Structure 1
Amino acid sequence: MVTVADCERVQANWYRFRAESCGGEVATDGGLTWIDGPDGLNLMFPDEMSTEALRRGVERARDRRAPIVGVWLGLGVDTAPLREAGFERGWSPWWMAADLADVAGDADPRVELQADSDDYERYDPGYRRLFAVARRRPARAWYAAAYTPGDRRFAGRAWSFLDGDLAGVFDMDVWTPFRRQGYGTGLLRAVCAAAEQSGARHAVLNATPEGELLYRTCGFTRIGEGITWWHHR
């Protein structure tokens, strides 16, 4: 049975994998492990924290010009040090899991796996460096993009990451004009199928209320909840 602890482990390992692939750092200070990745500095699922160590993490982010500092937690962890260090409570990940046999379905011809893309050049050029994770071998991460038929407008994206026999699904989004047209299902199935071919048996993800319906329709079940805290510099 997949547990919340499994979800947390996959999430942390995905952040670590991205940092290692994209030139970020993983550093331990005061019992806290900070992962300096493409989207800022993140502290992943500590059991306990001190205000002093958190403040040093914020200073580290300032030195590295990281725009944001995130802390991912399980429920029940004392959050008083976060408030004292200037963090604010954020959104709550809804952990979900599925047997990949339940996610399987026909491939969507509008969706394709890629190891590089120029789709982001106009509005988010820094995102392209993330494709380093899709080019590592042996393959552990896969990226899928969705396009409209004919004019090939970029409609959405998703990632998956192999961690043992679990596939983590991350950064999945369908742009607003293209929602409710099946792109989300196609993207989810594409990245899950890629991970399954490399040995995954179950998939895990963190959902927002907006995305939960899609994931439930595709075979995912909600198994728990977490919490995030953020320090915006």
Structure 2
Amino acid sequence: MSGIAACERVQDEFFSASAVSSGGRNFSTHRMKWSWLPDSADLIARFPSEITASGLRPALAEGARLGAKMAGIWVNSAVRQGELASFGFIKGWQPWWMTCLTDQLPPAPGLPGVELVARQGEDLPGTSWQVSAVLSSGQRAGLQLGKCLLFPSPTTPELGGVFEMAVQPEYQRLGIGTAMLQKLGEIARKAGISQLILNSTPVGLRLYQAQGFQLIGKGQTYWLELS
């Protein structure tokens, strides 16, 4: 299976595609690639190979002009922090890189009263599929209980990323997250995707491990409040 470099590449591609689909933009400064994500008001540096003042200063000025609330740097754990501390960045959460072969994911089960709805659209990053879990009956029929995204890599057809996995708090631990993940697996197999990657937090680790995902490494993020 592919390793951490593939996880970082798909995450990079997802940020870039998200900027386009949300009306943001991608740009570069000295050896640093950036994505402006207006939906979250975040300015993201995508896995720079080097972090310098000449790369940070113009990007942060542009972020302030665009109205960014936060600037985030996603890095490989081997990359030196460089000038981050002098600009006020603080260490943030670690993405836990995980991967799984799609043929290891079982078919999505039927959940009583819940329908899994899959769609594509121009509002989604790249050629993503969004899977939503919605109530299928009763007075609250149509209520969205959770959602997640399958993002096919535009450069590596056999790879797909799982992003934006979320279930409303009152509907957690009912199998909804598992069912959505397995539905993404079905879609991925039909699309010719043989391997899924994702970044997890400790909270989601058990869900993904139970479905066959393996933890292969950890990255690092740094954050600066701009507003």
TM-score scaled by length of structure 2: 0.88
Give 5+ residue unaligned stretches, structure 2: none
Partner of 2:123: 132
Query: How far apart, in 1, do the equivalents of 2:46 and 2:145 lie?
Result: 31
2:2 match: secondary structure: coil
Deviation string for 1:47-82 (max 9, x for gaps)? 111023212221111111122211101112111411
Residues 133 and 154 (structure 1), Cα distance of their counterparts in 2 relative to 1, 3 Å cut: closer
Query: How far apart, in 1, do the equivalents of 2:192 and 2:16 lie?
Result: 20
Partner of 1:184: 177
Equivalent of residue 146 in structure 1, options 116, 133, 137: 133
Query: How far apart, in 1, do the equivalents of 2:44 and 2:55 lie?
Result: 13
Partner of 1:15: 15
Determine if contact 2:29/2:54 at 8 Å carries over to the other structure: no
Partner of 1:196: 189
Query: How far apart, in 1, do the equivalents of 2:108 and 2:82 lie?
Result: 48
2:83 match: secondary structure: helix
What is the count of residue pairs matched by the alignment? Answer: 215
Equivalent of residue 157 in structure 1, options 147, 170, 174: 147
Determine if contact 2:147/2:166 at 8 Å carries over to the other structure: yes
Determine if contact 2:108/2:180 at 8 Å carries over to the other structure: no
Equivalent of residue 112 in structure 1, options 97, 112, 117: 117
Determine if contact 1:167/1:192 at 8 Å carries over to the other structure: no
Note the 1:198-217 alignment, pairs <5 A: 198-217=191-210
Query: How far apart, in 1, do the equivalents of 2:201 and 2:83 lie?
Result: 26
Determine if contact 1:142/1:195 at 8 Å carries over to the other structure: no
Query: How far apart, in 1, do the equivalents of 2:181 and 2:82 lie?
Result: 37
Give 5+ residue unaligned stretches, structure 1: 117-130
Query: How far apart, in 1, do the equivalents of 2:131 and 2:69 lie?
Result: 27
Cα RMSD (Å) of the superposition? 1.7
2:219 match: secondary structure: strand
Determine if contact 2:150/2:160 at 8 Å carries over to the other structure: yes
Query: How far apart, in 1, do the equivalents of 2:128 and 2:109 lie?
Result: 18
Partner of 1:29: 29
1:63 aligns with 2:65: yes
TM-score scaled by length of structure 1: 0.86
1:115, distance to aligned residue in structure 2 (A): 4.2
- Aligned-residue sequence identity (percent) comes to 29
